[in-house]
Every structure is written in structure tokens, then in C-alpha cells.
Structure 1
Amino acid sequence: MATTSFSPCAAARPPSASSLNRHLDPSRRICLPPHRPLASTAPLRAWGLAATPLRAAPARIAIRCGALAQIGQSEFATEVLGSELPVLVEFVADWCGPCRLISSVIEWASQEYKGRLKVVKIDHDANPKLISEYKVYGLPSLLIFKNGQEVPESKREGAITKVKLKEYLDNFLESTSVA
């Protein structure tokens, strides 16, 4: 009787340490939520990996909004859905590098379009209901709301330059003022 060798499939291999810790997708310049730490190191020991204790997470840097309103689920209906002006909603997190990178650009937009567009920020970690309802998969995410509805195809994920944000908002404001 011949014996066959067994080779585990790729799905059964343990994840690499870098894939466990990675939460930034550099190709798209968006942040993905960080992986939750393992409850036990037993799976690592089973694969022959070192079971070192988990390091404490670095201190989070809070996002400063300046003149922008940072709202939550309770204010969303009145501030966004009930607004008479179109609303630019930015979903952010304090652990997201690209979110911090574009914060000054979003602040600029709130001043530049004052009276024509309302700009608000929503914290990703504190508002899971809104995250799932509007299918926010990457951060930062921008959505535009008009008359209590999300504007179709207005979602934009990832870091954005001031020039691109101006194009994005100008195109939107021109198309909605005609309608």
C-alpha cells in the first residue's frame, strides 16, 4: 500500500506577524480597522510561533476638528438628514494616519464652502451602527447627503488632496444646484 504525503493548504497556514499587525493598505491610502488581539497565544504555539506577550497599544492621538462638528449616532438624524444644506460627512478614526493627513483639507473645505455646504465628522469606533448602515469599509470615507438622502455614487474612500476635494465638491454642488 502506497502512502501519500500530506501538504496543508495555504488557508491552513498560520498568518504572518506582519499580516496580523497591518491595518494600513498603502496601495489605496486608506485605513482598515486594526485586528483585535488574540485572546490566547495557544494557536500561535500550535504552529510553532513564539508566544510573546502582546505589547500595549500606543497612545491614540485625538483628532482635532477645529470649527467642524464631530457628531455621533444621536445627532446624525438632525445634523445630517434634517439639514437644509447639503452635508459632507467624513468618517474618521484617531488611529488612522490618512485621516489625520487630510484633517486640514477638510477644515479648509468647511471654511471655503461655508453657507453652501455643511461639513461634519463621525468617529468610526464610536458609531458602529452608522458604519454598518452606510457600509464604510475604509477610512477616511467621505459621503455627501442632500435632502436627507445619501447622494448616489458620492462615497469616496482614502486620502484626498485639496485640489481633488475642490473638484469633487464643485462638481457635486454644480450638479445639485441645477436640479
Structure 2
Amino acid sequence: MTITATALPGVLLIEPRVFGDARGFFLESWNRRSFAEAGLDLDFVQDNHSRSARGVLRGLHYQLRQPQGKLVRVTQGAVFDVAVDIRRSSPHFGRWVGVELSGDNHRMLYIPPGFAHGFLVLSDSADFLYKCTSLYDPPSDRSICWNDPDIGIDWPDAGVAPILSAKDAAAPRLHDAEVFA
């Protein structure tokens, strides 16, 4: 696999080796030993799978207690995936990085604890899978406004207006949100 650092320290683009032939393909999406040898010694405790339609925008999500590291990927369709540094003590506070993940490019993104995460579906539908380093903790679940001008995420055009949950539509801006020290 190839691991590439992004503009935000700790957020990593991972491209697995893909073995393909006329029958299809095979790839290893997680191997504890291989990832540890590459410097990512992670202990995942929960796997999640969501399916969303074109234009669905999920995020920007994070947990204050039990912050989650996430290894995310798309198995079908395409999304624009975003991580935002929300650690006030970080020199990168409020900065974001975004990459396209798809069932065709097989890329993965590792988002460490201390970052908000979200994605926009670019295809008719997308299956989004993510491994988490901490369990879901509903009382500490938080959101930040997806289009906060102070963050300035350059979301691509999905062909439809973003479709948000009620929680995400009411999310506060970064300067009003509870974030990490």
C-alpha cells in the first residue's frame, strides 16, 4: 500500500495494492500488521456502513468524549470526503483537506481523533464504510456547519443541492462549537 501525508498532519491518504484481472479485483482493506509496520498501530472497535443518495452531505461530525479515529472508504459510488482540524491548540485549527474516494479508485482516508469529518455523495448512490477507534457515544456527538465560511470548504457540485439531516442543518459554526483544546 501507499500512504501519503495530506496538508493536515495525521490525516493520511491510503492507496491499497489492487490485484485485478478479467474476473474482477482483490484488495486488502485492513491488515493490522501491515498498517502497524507503516506506522499506523490502530485498534478498531466498531465498523459502520452507510448508503446515501446523490447530494447527501453527512457532517461535519465528531465526538468530544471518546474521540474517534476513522479509516474511511467507499465500496460503490463516489464521495468528496473532508477532514477539518478542530483542535484549538493546533497550528492547523480550522483548516480542511478533501479527497475523492470511490469504488473505482479504492482510496482510503485515515482521520485521527481531534478532527471533524464529513462527506458529500457525488454519484447516484454511494456505500461508505468506516472503521472507528472508539465506540459511538451519542451524548458527546457533535456537528459543525458544513458550509461555515470560516472553514471555507470548497465542496464540489454534486448536481443537486446538498441534502442534510435536521441535526446537520442546525449545526453551529466552528467559532460557536465545542471543540478540542
Q: TM-score, normalised by structure 2?
A: 0.24
Query: Which structure has greater helix proportion?
Result: 1
Which has more radius of gyration?
1
Query: Which structure has greater strand proportion?
Result: 2
